[in-house]
């Protein structure tokens, strides 16, 4: 079985994101192909899934890193063993009243044959779907089981960085999913990139912990307090 890991960075992205992401993947001896181009995210994912020769494709946002080598191996193994896909849980609050929780492209391992069997749903946004959300919709409609890793902790909310996750709770800037994956969100802000650098450095020094972070199960009032 073959697996590939892909990440996309636009040319105007803070270079520290790609640099520190690459360092974390090297630390875990995991090969990642970082693409640097101004591509539409969903169209880029469609191209990768169409042309890749791998059995499993793992997509990782440029502001997202695993907390261990085992997290990546676990995601890929799930996709292979269940002939399905696994991603971090997300809901798009501008669609469907934020009620649809799906496996998001920030960290998404896809068994390519599953994508084929589901009719090759496009990862591009639509009237009912955010990027790659259609994959989860299609699986649900056809009774095909997939997995989503839910958030546990996040660093802080911001003026545009606190989101509701269905009826589960909230997530925000610097979210840890299932104690396995860290996703920054809003990497266009320098303050947030500073946090990403700090987290990556902690991972590289085997010193990352969630101490002092906010619980995703706390209400928004607690999060803003």
State how beta strands 33-36 and 3-9 pair: parallel
- What is the C-alpha to C-alpha distance for residues 6 and 58, in angstroms, rounded to an integer? 6
Report the chain's mean pLDDT, rounded to a whole number: 93
Look at residue 219 in the predicted model and tell me its pLDDT.
61
Average pLDDT estimate for 162-175: 92
Q: What phi-psi label fits residue 101: left (phi over 0), alpha (psi between -120 and 50 degrees) or beta?
A: beta
Domains of the chain, residue spans: 3-224
Q: Which of 178, 172, 167, 160 is nearest to 222 (CA)?
A: 172
Token pair for residue 101? 């929780």
DSSP string, the chain: --EEEEEEE-TTS-HHHHHHHHHHHHHTT---EEEES---HHHHHHHHHHH--SSEEEEE-TTEEESSHHHHHHHHHHHHHHTSEEEEEEE-TTSGGG--EEEEEEEEEEEHHHHHHTT----S--SS--TTHHHHHHHHHTT---EEEPEEEEEE--TT-EEEETTTEEEEEEEEETTTEEE---TTSHHHHHHHHHHHHHHHTT----TTPEETTS-HHHHH-
pLDDT digits 0-9 by tens, 21-78: 999 999 999 999 999 999 999 999 999 999 999 999 999 999 999 999 999 999 999 9
Average pLDDT estimate for 137-149: 97
pLDDT digits 0-9 by tens, 94-137: 666 557 999 999 999 999 999 999 999 999 998 887 999 999 99
| Geometric angle at alpha carbon 74, from 53 and 204, rounded to 5° | 100
The CATH fold of domain 3-224: Spore Coat Polysaccharide Biosynthesis Protein SpsA; Chain A (3.90.550)
Q: Which of 104, 6, 21 is nearest to 58 (CA)?
A: 6
pLDDT digits 0-9 by tens, 186-203: 888 888 999 999 999 999
Contact 185, 157 (CB under 8 A): no
Which positions ≥6 away from 188 have C-beta within 8 Å? 13, 14
């Amino acid at each position: 079985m073959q697996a590939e890991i892909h990440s996309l960075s636009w040319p105007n992205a803070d270079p520290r994101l790609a640099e520190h992401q690459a360092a974390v993947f090297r630390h875990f001896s995991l090969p990642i192909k970082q693409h640097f181009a101004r591509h539409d995210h969903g169209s880029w994912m469609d191209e990768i899934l169409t042309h890749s020769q791998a059995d499993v494709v793992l997509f990782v946002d440029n502001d997202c890193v695993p907390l261990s080598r085992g997290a990546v191996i676990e995601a890929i193994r799930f996709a292979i063993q269940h002939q399905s896909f696994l991603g971090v849980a997300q809901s798009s609050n501008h669609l469907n009243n934020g009620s649809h929780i799906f496996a998001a492209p920030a960290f998404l391992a896809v068994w390519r044959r599953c994508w084929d069997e589901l009719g090759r749903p496009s990862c591009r946004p639509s009237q009912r779907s955010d990027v790659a959300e259609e994959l989860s919709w299609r699986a649900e409609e056809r009774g095909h089981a997939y997995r989503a890793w839910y958030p546990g902790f996040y660093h802080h909310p911001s003026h545009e960085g606190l989101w509701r996750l269905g009826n589960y709770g909230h997530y925000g800037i610097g979210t840890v999913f299932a104690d396995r994956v860290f996703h920054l969100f809003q990497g266009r802000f320098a303050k947030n990139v500073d946090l990403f650098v700090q987290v990556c450095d902690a991972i590289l020094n085997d010193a990352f912990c969630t101490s002092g972070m906010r619980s995703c199960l706390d209400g928004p009032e607690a999060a803003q307090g």
